[in-house]
Amino acid sequence: MLNEILSFINENFQTLFMISVFPGLSFVLGFVIFAVWYQRKYLARLMIRMGPVHCGRRLGWLQLIADALKLITKELIFPKAANKPLFIFASIMLPVIPAAMIALIPFAPGLVIYNASGVSLLIFFAISTLFPVVSVIRGWAANNKFTIIGAFRNIYLDIAGEIPVFLASIGVMIWAGTYDLNEIVIQQSGMWFVIPQFLGFIVFFIGFLAMIEKVPFDIPTAETELIYGPNTEYTGAMFLNMMEADYVNVLAWTLLMITLYFGGYNGPRIFPDPIINGIFWMITKLLIAITIIFTIMISYARLRIDQAVRMGWNYLLPLSILNILLTLILKYIMFGGV
Amino acid sequence: MSARIRGYSPFTEIEEVGDGLFRLNMGPQHPISGQGRFIVLTDGERVFDIEMDIGYSHRGIEKILEYKTFVQGIVPVERMVMLDTSNILMGYVGAVEKVLGIEPPPRANYIRTIVMEINRILSHLYALGLLSESAAWNPAVFLWTTADREPFLDLLEMLTGARWSYSFFVPGGVRADIPRGFVERLRKTLDWFEKRIEVYEEAWIYNELFRMRTEGMGVVSRQQAIEWGLAGPNLRASGVPYDTRKNEPYAAYGELDFKIVTHNAGDSYARGWARVEEMKVSVDIIRQALDNMPEGPVKTRMPPRPKPGEAFFRVETGRGEMNVYIVSDGKEKPYRVKISPASFRNFFAIEMLPKTQEILLADVPVLIYSFDPWFLDADR
Amino acid sequence: MLSEDIVSQIKEVLGEAVLELKSPEDKRIFLKVPSERVLEIANRLKDEFGFDMPISAGGTDYPKKNVIELFWIIWHSEMNKVLILKCEVDRENPEVDSLTKVWPGVQKFERETWELLGVNYKGHPRLKPLLLPEDWTEGYPLRKDFDLKPYRSKWGEKY
């Protein structure tokens, strides 16, 4: 038995390493811890504060681990009228969905967990549509007015944001002529797609902000009126799961944006090894992107749900269709065929 | 939507009202509620009724004052609004001076004016921070305004000896004269603060998303503002040029030249805008008061007992006009003190608004904080 | 318009309904009327004289005279005058017409007076506890015979 397991590990060492260490679970969890810490420190500076300073000396880097330990050891409280199995199911399922999306992102030449022969972008979107479904389950299962309102807002927002995002990335698909994220990245070694697809990128970015549910689109979890939206009733470790789902979602969508528009792992050669070089550029771009997201978070007010939905359907959707037409024309002029 | 929600959860008591409506219980343990509770009747997004449930910090100040002498009453009255103490106190002290029949010396009037205007700036800064915070959970502006209150608090500490509740006004004048170096420091702070106001305008008042949230939302017309008895910047944002400082001058306001900030829109944006403009006016008033400050004593002798009678005094606090009605029966304690605070009147407008126009659930915090509520003020 | 002119006009129009009318200083008019005619007089004050903005309402307890004196304070937005409209009601059975239909802004003040002084405002739309706990049964705190002893601090503050 043991021998069989060991030989299995030996044969599939690379895949197992990718799933469990990089770019799999350890990386994702490490990113969540880092992103929360970074958000707190960075936003604190913008607000003329210090941020966490107590645990882990002046940088406060142990604060997040302390918080996580505290939350894990806390009692789990279930509302009396909650649907308990669904309540627990949603809290476990929610971080899994964006984590599964990350499996499709190439981090370096050949470094991708699941190489979905030529259709990885489609699979990415297919998985991402599960997110609002589970989100509604968590809101409904808690049986609370705030969670229900938050869950329904989540549906409205996701539909309004998702469709422009899909259509904007169709522009990229047409330009690259493929559904495969690996292939899209390789084609960007000369020029990033943000240049020929600029209109598409604008639409994608606004829809992207709606998908990651951060200010100005944190409408489902609007703290001022809905406390924490669909997550209101979660406590302890389940609350931790919800927090994690938020940040893993940010990670997945940010990685997709980098892959589609900013050249993925392409970049000037600093390290001789192409894999390390790719990982380096991927993470550098990721840090720049989340810094921009956090800066946007602090400089704007939250939109109302009707304004956000109107923005999605009235402006982003026509623009994304226009982008497809422009891409077709541009490609026809430049390459003489689609 | 509500038909699908059944059962009981400890946080919200699910209670169906009419056709698909339910009551949403915001507070007193809610991120935005403060020391009060809003009971919102909603169908999920559209709001049909808001009920302001106050009284969580009712201390019976009106009753307490009947058991205190006129000077002892200063301390409980101050506790009504901790960050606007001198304006609140002026209402009480002014009414007591009327009952006692005394006039403070002119220098005391000017010192009072300076302290009150600094307090108004402090109060408006806090209100702006809360309004920005209610439009999104974005504490940046709130923390900036909080940080900018510090220099003024230090100045007040220099003048009165305390940062917050300083009991500086007494019937017949103020407790102390201006210390050395105070005037120069105050002038420097005002120069710096004028630049800060520009920062707020750029970062927040002209912010496109903030305007989207507030413009055209919660409109109070001029007629409604008068009927509902709105107070303060909220009243002026609806186009009623009423400012107690101008209409019934007290302290040194009669001798100073300043304008009344009005706006015709009457929406939440106008109310926020009016507060920023009023801070500019306050800076102007403090400068004038410093320039025209007369010499002389700062306190007159106070008779221990008044003649029987009644006095009605109005004062413009940070949140609007507060009026104090004192009935005296000739003893050293007042027979009855009726304090009508500004927030109490503003809350009525918040209750009336959803009945006259379309308010969405996301608008509720913005709407309430655009009126600059202070629950301790309304509770007394 | 001077306060004296308004005072004489009010005296002329209201006739014998005026029990007491004075203007001790500029911008203040104290008017006392019988409690049965408050609603009618309030309507006339609003329509004929233009006192339009309510700024306060309340009451004072006089156990010696066995009355509760109620007041509504109204501001004239154009002439910038304050009218203090008063009436006396019986202390045992205090009842008066609510003025919310005339000046909607007095609603909360009347509700508060109902709660703290026990005055019944007839026709008030929302008479329910505001400042006190919802299960309060210990009397009306602003009345003079309300006993404060049980609520004093045990450290023995002397009044």
How many angstroms from the chain centroid is the CA of residue C66?
16
Does A299 contact B22 at a Cβ distance shorter than 8 Å? no
For residue A287, name the pLDDT band (cuts at 50, 70, 90). Answer: very high
Instruction: Give the pLDDT mean for A119-143.
Output: 87
- Residues on chain B bordering chain C, Cβ-to-Cβ distance under 8 angstroms: 54-55, 58, 60, 62-63, 67, 226-229, 231, 240, 242, 247-248, 310, 312, 314, 321, 323, 325, 327, 335-336, 338, 340, 344-345, 347-348, 352, 379-380
Give residue A66's pLDDT. 87
- When scoring B53, B56, B61, B63 by the number of chain C Cβ atoms within 10 A, the one with the most, hence best to mutate, is B63
pLDDT at B12: 40
- Closest chain B residue by Cα to residue A302: B136
B150-186: string of b/e by CB count within 10 Å (b at 16+)? ebbeebbeebbeeeebbbbbbbbbbbeebeeeeeeeb
The tokens for C74 are 């109204």
Number of CB pairs, chain A paired with chain B, less than 8 A apart: 124
- Which residue type occupies B91? G
**Helix (H) and strand (E) counts in chain B:** 14, 10
Q: Which of B256, B248, B251 is nearest to B285 (CA)?
A: B256
Q: How many CB atoms lie within 10 A of CB B188?
A: 12
Q: Across-strand partners of C21?
A: C31
Model pLDDT, residue A292: 92
pLDDT tens-digit map of B353-378? 888 888 888 888 888 888 888 888 88
The reply to whether residue A81 touches residue B1, judged by beta carbons under 8 angstroms, is no
Q: Which residue of B226, B325, B336 is in closest CB contact with C77?
A: B226
CB contact under 8 A, C56 and B352: no
* Mean pLDDT value across chain B: 84
- Report CB contact under 8 Å: C82, B340: no
Q: Which residues on B lie below 8 Å from A303 (Cβ)?
A: 209, 212-213
Nearest to B30 among A46, A48, A227 (CB): A227
| pLDDT of A36 over the 50 cut | yes
**pLDDT at position C1 over 80:** no
User: What is the residue extent of each domain of chain C?
Assistant: 3-148
Which of A155, A304, A306 to substitute to test the interface with B, most B CBs within 10 Å? Answer: A304
Confidence class of residue A322 from pLDDT cuts 50, 70 and 90?
very high
Query: Is the predicted pLDDT of residue A291 greater than 90, yes or no?
Result: yes
Provide the pLDDT for residue B1. Answer: 35
Sequence-separated (6 or more) residues with CB below 8 Å from residue B150: none
Q: Are A219 and B362 within 8 A, CB to CB?
A: yes
Residue A275: predicted pLDDT: 85
pLDDT in tens, B12-37: 444 555 567 778 888 788 888 778 88
Could you please report the per-residue DSSP string of B218-280? S---HHHHHHHT--THHHHHTT----HHHHS--TTGGGS-------SS-SHHHHHHHHHHHHH
C-beta atoms of B8 and A81 within 8 A: yes
Q: What is the pLDDT of residue B17?
A: 55
DSSP state of A83: -
Could you tell me what percent of chain C has a pLDDT over 90?
Answer: 0
Contact (CB, 8 A) for C37 and C31: no
Q: Is the ipTM of this complex over 0.90?
A: no
Cα distance from B63 to chain C (closest Cα, Å)?
6
Q: Is the pLDDT of residue B11 over 50?
A: no
Render pLDDT for A244-270 as a digit per residue (tens, 0 to 9).
888 999 999 999 999 988 888 888 888
Does residue C2 surpass a pLDDT of 80?
Answer: no
Closest residue to C55, CB basis, from B67, B327, B340: B340
pTM attached to this predicted model: 0.86
pLDDT in tens, C37-61: 888 888 888 888 888 888 888 888 8
Sign of the CA dihedral running B335, B341, B347, B353: positive
Chain B residues with CB under 8 Å of A80 CB are 7-10
* pLDDT at position B63: 87
Q: What is the pLDDT of residue A253?
A: 92
pLDDT in tens, B53-104: 888 888 888 888 888 888 888 888 888 888 888 888 898 998 888 888 888 8
By Cβ distance, the residue of B12, B134, B366 closest to A146 is B12
Distance CA A313, CA B254 (A): 56
pLDDT value, residue A336: 74
- pLDDT exceeds 70 at position C68: yes
CA-closest candidate to residue B228, choices B91, B353, B313, B357? B353
Tell whether C56 is within 8 A of chain B (Cβ): yes
Q: Is the separation of the CB atoms in C3 and C27 below 8 Å? A: yes
Average pLDDT, chain A: 86
Range with lowest mean pLDDT among A159-163, B270-274, B302-306, C100-104: B302-306
For chain A, give the percent of residues with pLDDT over 90: 11
Nearest-Cα residue of chain B relative to residue A223: B137
* B137-179: pLDDT as tens digits: 667 788 888 888 889 999 989 888 888 888 888 888 888 888 8
Give the residue-averaged pLDDT of B191-199. 90
> Are the Cβ atoms of C56 and B325 closer than 8 angstroms?
yes
**Does C9 touch chain B if contact means CB atoms closer than 8 Å?**
no
Tell me whether residues B143 and A47 touch, CB distance under 8 A.
Answer: yes
pLDDT at B7: 38
- The residue extents of the domains of chain B are 61-341
Architecture of domain C3-148: 2-Layer Sandwich (3.30)
The dotted CATH code for B61-341 is 1.10.645.10
Question: C56, C114, C136: which to substitute to probe chain B, counting the most B Cβ within 10 Å?
Answer: C56
pLDDT higher than 80, residue C3: no
Q: Give the pair of three-digit tokens for residue B208.
A: 């496109």
Confidence at B2, pLDDT banded by 50, 70, 90 = very low
Give me A122's structure tokens. 């489609």
